Chain A
């Protein structure tokens, strides 16, 4: 029974795939209930009047490392801290070289009129871009938004 459920879990994970999107937040200000309303996004560095609730970070890699993917994740984190303004201070990319094993098939003559097929594995290095978005969650009084 445990084997079957393990297989089901493995199949579910394999079918869903692993996402590289992750986010985190550190509360530095007053604790607030999660905010369910719309959250303003400020990216241009303009000052925002309000209480800083915390520091927020979101990151993703490879095809998910883009602003379209990260901004909604960032905004959701801000809302969970109770903020109604998401201030994006930095968007940075870093690059890592990851080693992975690559399989290559090959064929060769083996014997009279016979061809054999083999597989060899060798390491390849792949460059991975990780995009990180850092900023703050701010609770601004309604009407004082910049």
Chain B
């Protein structure tokens, strides 16, 4: 009994836990991101248009069976795949296992908030808000495709999904107007090459 207790305490001190990361890549991965990967849970609205890169899963065992470790594992893998965010994240917690699943995405555009006064000063007409679920970028070239017997990839356009933009306070004017999408030098269009399963 004492030996078992000693073994258990030794294992807990040495950090007896590990995390497995699994992925299904749906598009060609992008260059690694240096900035922090944002995480959105399944019931959260994603504030920007995006396109999916991969379906990610992290499974934590032992001392790694907690939301912090599996979330960190997802973030690291998403960053290495060049993703900006993980959307539709779901974490299921067991007694000695934790599972996290999310969709690793890359931003397809950037929302820029311009006040009416600022727009008038610059001679810009305020733009109407973008409706939800519309394509706001040129369609990418190829989607991830996977098949049964044939399993041959074929170019298929996938426009990014536009989500409703959040209301953000404008530092340059008291009356914010609906945000207008503008080009993001950092967030390019989806890649031309997809990956078959």
**Partner-B contacts on A (CB < 8 A):** 34-47, 65-68, 71-72, 75-76, 79-80, 88, 90-95, 97, 127, 129, 131, 145-146
Question: Contact: A131 with B148, CB < 8 Å?
Answer: no
Question: Contact: B99 with A38, CB < 8 Å?
Answer: no
Q: Say how far B143's CB is from chain A's closest CB, in angstroms.
A: 5
Q: Say how far A138's CB is from chain B's closest CB, in angstroms.
A: 13
**Partner-A contacts on B (CB < 8 A):** 20, 22-24, 26, 50-52, 55-57, 59, 87-88, 90, 92, 94-97, 99, 101, 103, 105, 133, 143-154, 156-159, 161, 196-197
Question: Contact: B99 with A72, CB < 8 Å?
Answer: no
Q: Say how far A4's CB is from chain B's closest CB, in angstroms.
A: 36
Question: Contact: B147 with A43, CB < 8 Å?
Answer: no
Residue in A75, A97, A131 whose CB lies within 8 Å of B197:
A75
Which residue in chain A gives the minimum CB-CB distance to B50?
A44
**Bound: A72/B147 CA distance, A:** 8
Question: Contact: A37 with B147, CB < 8 Å?
Answer: yes
Question: Contact: B88 with A44, CB < 8 Å?
Answer: yes
Question: Contact: A95 with B50, CB < 8 Å?
Answer: no
**Bound: A90/B97 CA distance, A:** 19
**Sample (22) of A-B pairs whose CB atoms are under 8 Å apart:** A37-B152, A38-B145, A38-B152, A38-B154, A39-B147, A43-B26, A43-B88, A44-B87, A44-B161, A46-B161, A67-B22, A67-B23, A67-B55, A67-B101, A68-B22, A72-B146, A79-B148, A80-B148, A94-B92, A95-B94, A129-B97, A145-B157
Which residue in chain B gives the minimum CB-CB distance to A142?
B156
Contacts of A35 in B (CB 8 A): 148
**Bound: A92/B40 CA distance, A:** 16
Contacts of B153 in A (CB 8 A): 38
Contacts of A129 in B (CB 8 A): 59, 94, 97, 99
Question: Contact: B143 with A40, CB < 8 Å?
Answer: yes
**Bound: A131/B149 CA distance, A:** 25
Question: Contact: A36 with B147, CB < 8 Å?
Answer: yes
Question: Contact: B99 with A93, CB < 8 Å?
Answer: yes
Contacts of A127 in B (CB 8 A): 94-97
| Most chain B CB inside 10 Å of its own CB: which residue of A43, A47, A94 | A43
